[in-house]
Amino acid sequence: MRVAVLFGIALLLGVLLGLLELGQPTSMIISMIVIVVLGTYLFIYPIYWEKNIRKIESYLEKRRKNPVFKLYYGMGNRIDQDVKEATEALLQKYKDPTRQALFKTLHALYEDDILRVKKDVEDIRPPQYKAYYQAIIAVEEGELEQAAELRKQVKSEWMKHALAAGIAKKAGNHEEYVTEVQKAYEKSRGMQRYVIYKQFEEDMKVV
């Protein structure tokens, strides 16, 4: 549908510029700029910058043939079969050990299998992402000081607040937990925002 919309707009734009008689070089430049901007909005904006959870979820649901989108949609809605099939497809498609480690870690976390997470996380790159998942492991094991130290290696603001929320919850500090959940949500956009919302959905209702 989005491709059809983009094609239709490009066609109308071509007709309009022809009527304005701006000249071929100028018309081509304007057309390219408009198409790039629209293409970015229609296809990239929902993944990286969209803030509306329903729009993000709708975007993912309609594109479940793509294993990445299927994985995130499946994880967000606890559809075990989708998560399993998407993970298998991604492992088959991407042979790079660092990518495989990330998909395996996400799957293990989904299944609450910390032993598998500890094994798979070793190959994750870049270092800040490895530290993020190591911090999650530390929180699950009650090693809160270690989790706090690992958190310092994470640059992404929403990740920092998500980890702080996990640490606060494990420590029994509900007020701080709710505050950090809200901060993580506010700092995130696109699929990151979707992940945060789905992870803390029950708590987001009272935030």
**pLDDT tens readout for residues 44-103:** 767 787 899 999 999 999 999 999 999 999 999 999 999 999 999 999 999 999 999 999
Please give the model's pTM, rounded to 2 decimal places.
Answer: 0.78
DSSP H helices in the chain: 2-20, 24-39, 45-48, 53-62, 67-76, 80-93, 97-110, 114-120, 127-140, 144-151, 157-171, 174-187, 190-199, 201-204
Instruction: Note the pLDDT of residue 96.
Output: 93
